[in-house]
Amino acid sequence: MAPTDDHGPTAPHASPSGTTPPARPPAGGTALPGARMPRWLPRAMVLALALIAAFQLGSWAFHQLTGLLINILIAFFLALAIEPAVSRMATRGMRRGLATFLVFLGLMIFSAGFVALLGSMLAGQIIKMVEGFPAYLDSLINWVNQTFHSDLKRVDVQEGLLHSDWLRKYAQNSAAGVLDVSAQVLGGLFQLLTVTLFSFYFAADGPRLRRALCSVLPPARQAEVLRAWEIAVDKTGGYLYSRGLMALVSGIAHYVLLQALGVPYAPVLGVWVGLVSQFIPTIGTYLAGALPMLIAFTVAPWYAVWVLVFVVLYQQFENYVLQPKLTSKTVDIHPAVAFGSVIAGTALLGAVGALIAIPAVATLQAFLGAYVRRYDVTDDPRVHGHRSRGQGGPGLFTRARGLWSRQPGAGEPVASQEGSS
């Protein structure tokens, strides 16, 4: 039914051309029954779902490949470390693959000989300690009886140890953990093999890898990549050089202590402490100090305590005095930056991050330094950290004396605000 007014039904409004305009949507904002969905909306929804699925898939793949990526990163820095030796041998006419093989062969022979020597020494000392355990136990029991006026006997102590719940539970846990230890050993060997293979390929095919990388970049970017590669080689070599110096200092210091205490195999133990404490991050210090303490215990129990005290004190000296100085000289970064980079690397990648943090930060700092514009520093005393005599205004004592002299005396009238104005 058509709407009506006072004069009767009204006709719908028509446009000047005589056609009827399209109907307007209701005032409530709801779409008309005949309205259609925008054409871009389904595509946008499909694209959003595809992006979310790709992100989830990439995140899952990254977490699954984290171990492999860390091994590749270790192999890359190891290849950078041996790059100078391989390049020097290659410039003399030797094939690069053969030069890399000889370098790795030398490292493997040195590592195998060192481990075999330490293993035989450790086995002999463990046998000696087991054979002398009754004598150590007798001396300990005599000391306890004399000090605390007790009446302990070795038979009673041995019976208590053999029938204790702690020993039984420890034996059960050790037997149950044999398979776990074997799996960890096999996993460590596979990881070592992976790192060795990747580092061999990176070092042997270094020029080919650089050509392949530069072939997809414009000439300006190629120069930047090659410069960054060269800086990384220099900084990694400097870092290893500083670690070698610290290993030498640590080995000599511990050798002097062990030789003074009369501990056997002092030279080998000094080399062990130097290498392990410097090239195994985080737990290297504890592994390095445990073996000298064990062998010192076979000489005298109190010698092990002296070795422990010396290891702890030397570690503090190395962390806060020796390492920042040597690192700042060889890697050319500030000691505070070196210390902070080690903490950050440990938080991100654990022991691997602690090992490669300093050369990575030094490489990044040296590479970005070329893009930072520097200006001449003004000759201001505050820049140099001190003020020359006669500059910088009066001192604190002079200003305080001037303020005291301006105060009115006890009998002098204080000028009012009106009078002063």
pTM of the model: 0.61
Q: Is there a domain that residue 176 lies in?
A: no
- Cβ atoms of 132 and 298 closer than 8 Å: yes
> Same structural domain for residues 206 and 268?
no
- Average the pLDDT over 322-347 and give the result: 75
**Euclidean distance between CA atoms 408 and 229, whole angstroms:** 73
Flag whether 387 is in a domain: no
Q: Using alpha carbons only, what angle is made at residue 361 by residues 355 and 367, rounded to the nearest 5 degrees?
A: 140
192 and 288 fall within a common domain: no
Each residue's pLDDT tens digit, 31-47: 555 567 788 888 889 99
Residue 50 has pLDDT above 80, yes or no: yes
Cα–Cα distance, 251 to 272 (Å, whole number)? 7
Q: Does 90 fall in a domain?
A: yes
Q: CA 190 to CA 274: how far, in whole Å? A: 26
**Torsions phi, psi for 245 (to 5 deg):** -65, -45
pLDDT band at 395 (very low <50, low <70, confident <90, very high): low
Q: Is residue 53 part of a domain?
A: no
Per-residue burial over 314-329, b = 16 or more CB atoms within 10 Å of its CB, e = otherwise? bbeebeeebbbebbbe
On whether both 262 and 344 belong to a single domain, the answer is yes
Q: What is the mean pLDDT of residues 56-84?
A: 88
- The pLDDT value given to residue 414: 47
In a domain, 337, yes or no: yes
Give the residue numbers spanning the domain of 279. 234-370
Q: Are residues 212 and 135 in the same domain?
A: yes
Number of structural domains the chain divides into: 2
Do 194 and 325 share a domain, yes or no?
no
Instruction: Say whether both 212 and 287 belong to one domain.
Output: no
* Mean pLDDT, range 326-346, rounded to an integer: 75
* Tokens of residue 271, six digits: 């080399």
Q: Are residues 254 and 312 in the same domain?
A: yes
Find the mean pLDDT for residues 120-141.
75
On whether both 71 and 206 belong to a single domain, the answer is yes
**Does residue 234 surpass a pLDDT of 60?**
yes
| H or E stretch at 8 | strand 8-9
Q: Is the pLDDT of residue 410 over 50?
A: no
What phi and psi values does residue 278 have, to the nearest 5 degrees?
Answer: -100, -30
Question: Residue 51: its pLDDT value, please?
Answer: 94
Q: Which residue has the higher pLDDT, 407 or 225?
A: 225
Least confident of 107-116, 232-241, 245-254, 381-390: 381-390
3 state SS of 388: coil
In angstroms, rounded to a whole number, what is the distance separating the alpha carbons of residues 274 and 279? Answer: 9
Half-sphere exposure of 221 (CA within 13 A, CB side): 8
Residue with tokens 């204080």: 414
Domain shared by 86 and 146, yes or no = yes
Provide the residue type at 173 as one letter: N
HSE on the CB side for 58, CA within 13 Å?
6
Overall residue count recorded for the chain in this entry: 421
Report yes or no: 270 and 251 within 8 Å, Cβ to Cβ: yes
| Per-residue confidence (pLDDT) for residue 159, from 0 to 100 | 72
Residues 205 and 253 in one domain: no
Q: 8 lies in a domain?
A: no
Residue 299 lies in a domain: yes
163 within domain boundaries: no
Q: Collect all residues with Cβ–Cβ distance below 8 Å to 181 and sequence separation of at least 6.
A: none
Q: Which residue has the tokens 């330094």?
A: 369
pLDDT of residue 181: 63
Residues 150 and 290 in one domain: no
- Same domain for 252 and 144: no
State yes or no: pLDDT of 141 exceeds 70: yes
Q: What is the per-residue pLDDT for 154?
A: 72
